[in-house]
Amino acid sequence: MASPVLAERPAVEPRPGRRRRPGIGRSDQLIGWLLITPALVYFVVFLLYPAVAALYYSFTDWNLRTAPNWVGFANYTELLFNDVEFPHFWKSVQVTLQYTLIAVPLTLVSALAQALLINAIRRGSNTFRLLLFLPVVTAEAAVGAIWRWLYDPQYGLINAALGLVGIPKQNWLNTPELVIPALAFIAAWQCGISMIIYLAGLKGIPESIREAAIIDGAGPVQRFWKVVVPMLRPTTFYLVVTGTIAALQVFGLVYVIFSGGGGRSVTGGPEQSGLAYVLHIYLYAFRYDAMGAACAMSFMLLVLIMIVTALQFKFLKQEAS
């Protein structure tokens, strides 16, 4: 028979506090911190500090040679309302938005078409995938040289091809109305990353759904619109968001195209028709000695990207149907 003293003893409550996770000691934690230290150093030195410094300089008048002079929100108000000091600011915004509206859909269509073709090939698909991905890894200087030749009004291959079907030659890079479509076409040519992502999405569509559609009598066009497009909706949403962010920040392509020979200067082409927003930032930072205004422009671009991305998350469908 149990002792009454032992029977009446209350159960010992566990002491409150955070439990130590089994198997993780101080040495393991130290090794973990040592492993992530290079990434932390990179983040602080090359990302966080430049961002904080740029935010500070956006409230100053600074020419990179003298000490910055604090001016408050003057840079922001001057950019928005002073057409004399910044005559091409709103032009750069317009050019960038037009380029985004053309380049992003054109890139998605080109990437999806390439992914569908590669997905339908049974042999040699890896070779075609590599060839179509090459424009992505090609140096932008080489891309600019290639496309300046392709767009040449006299000897360019594109005008030669148009001449075969009776279309007159076009001066692509010196006609204001054609500059943005010409740049968007180059972006569509460099759609290798989007093509790979679309190809992964196509591989993820269950074969049973395709077979069910075939049994129900759906043709190739119906299967594309009723099966492929809805199942690729999450992939398309991701590519639209990332493609829009990349298009709003386009710089290298425009800089290379309009900084070559032929008497061009880095101003964005004829009548500033190719003056992208980031190119405008570059010019004020390193050509016009207005680093404070350039920093203000960069944070205005950050706000624009955040607004556009938030609208895309709100109004675009993200799930497959």
* Residues facing 61 on adjacent strands: 69
Q: What is the pLDDT of residue 123?
A: 84
Query: What is 83-315's CATH topology?
Result: MetI-like fold (1.10.3720)
Q: For 217, phi and psi rounded to 5 degrees?
A: 90, 15
Helix or strand holding residue 61 (H, E): strand 60-61
Q: What b/e readout covers 216-248, taking b as 16+ CB neighbours within 10 angstroms? A: eebeeeebeeebbeebbbebbbebbbebbbebb
Looking at the chain, the whole-number percentage of residues with pLDDT higher than 90 is 59
Q: Which two tokens stand for residue 137?
A: 């890894």
Cα-Cα-Cα-Cα dihedral sign, residues 121, 122, 127, 133: positive
pLDDT at residue 263 tops 90: no
DSSP per-residue letters across 275-295 = --HHHHHHHHHHTSS-HHHHH
Q: What is the pLDDT of residue 97?
A: 96
Q: Do 182 and 258 contact (CB within 8 A), yes or no?
A: no
- Span 22-51, pLDDT tens digits: 556 688 888 989 999 999 999 999 999 999
Q: Do 206 and 199 contact (CB within 8 A), yes or no?
A: no
Q: Who has greater pLDDT, 253 or 93?
A: 93
Q: Do 107 and 193 contact (CB within 8 A), yes or no?
A: no
Reduced DSSP (H G I as helix, E B as strand, rest coil) percent helix, strand, coil of the chain, to 5: 70, 0, 30
Q: What is the pLDDT of residue 93?
A: 96
Q: Where are the domains of the chain?
A: 28-78, 83-315
Instruction: Give dist(CA 132, CA 128) in Å, integer.
Output: 6
The maximal CA–CA distance of the chain, rounded, in angstroms, is 110
Instruction: Give dist(CA 235, CA 194) in Å, integer.
Output: 9
- Span 183-238, pLDDT tens digits: 999 999 999 999 999 999 999 988 888 888 888 888 888 989 999 999 999 999 99
Instruction: Give dist(CA 67, CA 157) in Å, integer.
Output: 51
Q: Is 0.75 surpassed by the pTM of this model?
A: yes
Q: Who has greater pLDDT, 18 or 186?
A: 186
- Span 80-113, pLDDT tens digits: 999 999 999 999 999 999 999 999 999 999 999 9
Q: What angle do CA 174, 176, 182 make, to 5 degrees?
A: 75
* Residues facing 60 on adjacent strands: 70
Q: What is the pLDDT of residue 5?
A: 47
- Span 113-162, pLDDT tens digits: 999 999 988 888 888 888 999 999 998 888 988 999 999 988 889 999 98
Instruction: Give dist(CA 244, CA 199) in Å, integer.
Output: 20
310-317: average pLDDT? 91
| DSSP-assigned letter for residue 217 | T
Residue 206 half-sphere exposure toward CB, CA atoms < 13 A: 5
Taking only Cα atoms into account, the Rg of the chain, rounded to an integer number of angstroms, comes to 28
pLDDT at residue 258 tops 80: yes
